[in-house]
Structure 1
């Protein structure tokens, strides 16, 4: 598998593996077919990887195609172009609308021109294969299966799933997080962040009002109240006899160590994404207001400043630095970023352990950043003192160089 140009699927392999154990023959067959088709697609994607940048710019124009249950994309029929009328097919219209909402979100929130920031056209393919229980971004287009009707319904029904998949494209054209181990978990986490932000933006929800669930609209339609993942409380998204319990950790002491293989989820990328997911939720929650404004800006700017092999530690340090650049070196926003990462047991480099804990989080009655028993003021003072020490040290080093 290409580490920088993978097939990014919304359904984790461990869920499909679990469905292979089902007593229902139809469920087993749908899961097996999905796994086999996805494996084949990964092989095709690695061959096409060298051409991923060849997509012609088109001002983010949308085009939806109908695969008619085929797996051969070139045979798909044009179903709805950017300037065409609505289709009689609800899946076509949902895909068209969701691609547009995601495109418009990135334009309004982050001044980004489509997935590649160069107006990349957005092609979507619906009704892919038979009972294909997945949706994926392959570096050039979005592809949606209809689900098996039991464990997954039509994948076009979830805006956050579609935004999640397009988010993989944004990551590919920015940091290029390699799709394995901690970098791969950051790749998955960024897509969950984007998926949740697009949904919140479309509904004009604040961080307090949002459900912070991913895939609730398409996962187990016969079971209510569950989702593929919970950013607010990783490990609690689902718990049923069919798929077991959500295995995501929410802190480094619970980090899942797995082999860097497909069956090992490429080192646990879908498992361990719960850790940075929880950090982002805490930042958005405790800054308050609309998540895409402050928290989203910090994470997006950090993504652009990250490298392909960055670890959780690297990314945490980058978010702390970007929070300081955007809001001030001793701002409440930067303090909240610090406390959020410490809450998930990722220590910001250069900041003494224990300088911030979850008790430093405070939100006033209006949903904004507040103060609690002087905790935030004390934290800000400590950070300010640390910044002063760093400044003095830098001046000393500069003076030493000048005397050589």
Structure 2
């Protein structure tokens, strides 16, 4: 808003100068003459309007404040390994909120806080005069939330803004490590309200508001591929409908890998898969849990070498439903711990066929490996319809 006002004031000043400087405008571009002509004919005007009366959309509302106050990760290791002390945190939050309230004195605020559900947040206490809604910061270690939680957030935020678009505003805050999911949820809200077009453009627009290395500091894997998959779910489906989700109960049958990177000719390794999500056999419990984890050791575990890299099929046979996180790890022979080859999060309600094809650009991989993997590397996840009696 501040930048837009500056632009308007500059343009108004320019028009005034044009009105009194006809002898000096030979080299002014044609578009300025066009603007002056329309000003003189009163096709366009610049009346004064108070900030609380301006009809601005959610994108401008969100970013005008960010541009004014600056977005920073207050937990980044710029002030020591322990980050901010509680008192500093309180003062910072109070100062930011006070400045926002001063800038929008007639606004009513709703707060959405993203934090670790295992620790108590200070936000409800600090902002006790505002309604606060708390959300987690990940689903199975992936910085995306389950679709049911995403829908709850979208409807709550949209409902609040729709009650009074002139005065109702959102304050969105994240606890330590919550920036990736906050950025994702803001992008989802913009797409949901039709305030922005294009999943990738919208997500990058928000991420670019923070320091460029912040995402890498927080997330060891690049979460954008899975986040874009979920933004596509939101942008292309009727998430406004309460009963839009019809979760399929499926059996994740196998994972087929082609042109596996990082396999040595001499030193073998084995592949380990971890799958987490809600238990299809216990629908009352929506908490994500480990559904499948391949053993790390054992004489029956197959070792893969470079000669095997073109095609590897691993049988899984794991029941899944709804939001699923699959992580593939490579464990070198003789080593205790493995490294992540890729991770992917998906929802069974949006699977159009009984397989999910993934190219390199559609998998979450570590930042330092993105340019080292072969572009031919791909994964195919196959599914079978679950026997109703088994579910």
TM-score normalised by L of structure 1: 0.29
Give 1 or 2 for the bigger CA radius of gyration: 2
Determine which structure has greater relative contact order: mean sequence separation of CA pairs < 8 Å that are 6+ residues apart, divided by chain length.
2
Higher normalized strand content (fraction of residues): 2
TM-score normalised by L of structure 2: 0.30
